[in-house]
């Protein structure tokens, strides 16, 4: 059961100008009037009920100003793809620490953290995994998301912030290829998971998979279902499109073995038989 929604709560949404932010903002704005958006640049077409506070996650003072007075934070800011180590380090590790520490100092009660399937990308596709597996990141980006999950656990246990980590697959109107038939999530369904993180009274520290009701899913998302998740999106409804797009891509001898796909095969120098658990 969710807590009754207190619409006076100040909820800060970082990364609001990014891809997922752009897709989910209209839905979140209806649920949480007064949503405070933060990013390095202002999102396009602010709703009348939204306000914007510019902040670079690498600047601790700017982050502190953005979250001042917040009750809850939806933390989707950061570097969203694989990249050079320094870019990942600054945005996703230093920036994530700045966010959690500013939240602690501001007395924030809840954080929903955008983790990623790439924190566990080196599990093989034939293996269904739960949220309690050892992290097996497939990239520097995946390492940064594993760090964020660990940081969330620290702030939950040491400081009592209710933290929800979403291992997001791929958000969009439909799956882009065959791999995404297993990891796709609709914008409406990711908003459901965000709501659980912001409102459910039993949240202390949780990891959910950001996936819709996908018949080909590689993930056991039973904990999210136990807390009320009822996804409406079904990747199978889009299989014909995904298979047609996959035919344009062609095979990837390494990436096709693992859940992380091309994130696994990029820069890969190992023997695939020795990779992953």
Which residues does 62 contact at the CB level (< 8 Å), separation at least 6?
54, 55, 56
* 205 is annotated as an active-site residue: no
Q: Which residue has the tokens 């914008």?
A: 187
Provide the pairing of β-strand 110-116 with 162-168: parallel
CA distance between the termini of the chain: 37
- Spatial distance between the Cα atoms of 104 and 123, rounded to a whole number of angstroms: 34
- Cα 61 to Cα 10, 68, 151, 169, 192: the distances in Å are 19, 11, 20, 32, 31
Alpha helices of the chain — where are they, by DSSP H?
Answer: 19-31, 60-67, 85-88, 95-106, 140-159, 180-183, 187-199, 222-226, 239-249, 262-265
For the chain, helix (H) and strand (E) counts, in that order, are 10, 9
Decide if 73 contacts 35 (C-beta within 8 A).
no
Among candidate residues 86, 127, 87, 141, the one with its CA nearest the CA of residue 266? 141
- Spatial distance between the Cα atoms of 110 and 33, rounded to a whole number of angstroms: 17
SS3 state of residue 39: strand
Catalytic residue of the set 141, 155, 209, 229: 141
The token pair that represents 28 in the structure block: 């979140």
- Cα 28 to Cα 21, 34, 60, 173, 193: the distances in Å are 10, 10, 26, 17, 12
Q: Which are the catalytic amino acids?
A: 141
């Amino acid at each position: 059961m969710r807590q009754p929604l207190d619409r006076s709560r100040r909820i800060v949404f970082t990364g609001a100008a990014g891809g997922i932010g752009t897709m989910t903002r209209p839905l979140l704005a209806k649920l949480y009037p007064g949503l405070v958006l933060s990013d390095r640049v202002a999102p396009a077409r602010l709703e009348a009920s939204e306000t914007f506070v510019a902040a670079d996650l690498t600047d601790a003072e700017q982050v502190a100003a953005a979250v001042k007075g917040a009750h809850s934070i939806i933390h989707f800011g950061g570097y969203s793809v694989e990249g050079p180590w320094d870019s990942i380090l600054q945005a996703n590790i230093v920036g994530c620490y700045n966010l959690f520490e500013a939240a602690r100092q501001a007395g924030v009660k809840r954080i929903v953290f955008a983790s990623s399937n790439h924190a566990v990308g080196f599990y093989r596709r034939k293996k269904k995994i739960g949220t309690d597996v050892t992290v097996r990141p497939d990239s520097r980006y995946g390492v940064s998301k594993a760090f964020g999950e660990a940081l969330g656990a620290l702030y939950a246990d040491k400081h009592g912030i209710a933290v929800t980590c979403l291992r997001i697959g791929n958000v969009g109107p439909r799956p882009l290829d065959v791999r995404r038939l297993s990891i796709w999530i609709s914008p409406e369904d990711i908003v459901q998971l965000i709501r659980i993180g912001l409102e459910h009274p039993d949240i202390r520290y949780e990891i959910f998979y950001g996936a819709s009701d996908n018949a080909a899913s590689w993930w056991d998302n039973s904990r999210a279902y136990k807390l009320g998740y009822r996804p409406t999106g079904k990747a199978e409804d889009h299989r014909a499109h995904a298979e047609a797009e996959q035919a344009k891509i062609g095979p990837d001898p390494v990436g096709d073995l693992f859940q992380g796909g091309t994130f696994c095969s990029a820069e890969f120098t190992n023997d695939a038989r020795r990779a992953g658990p």
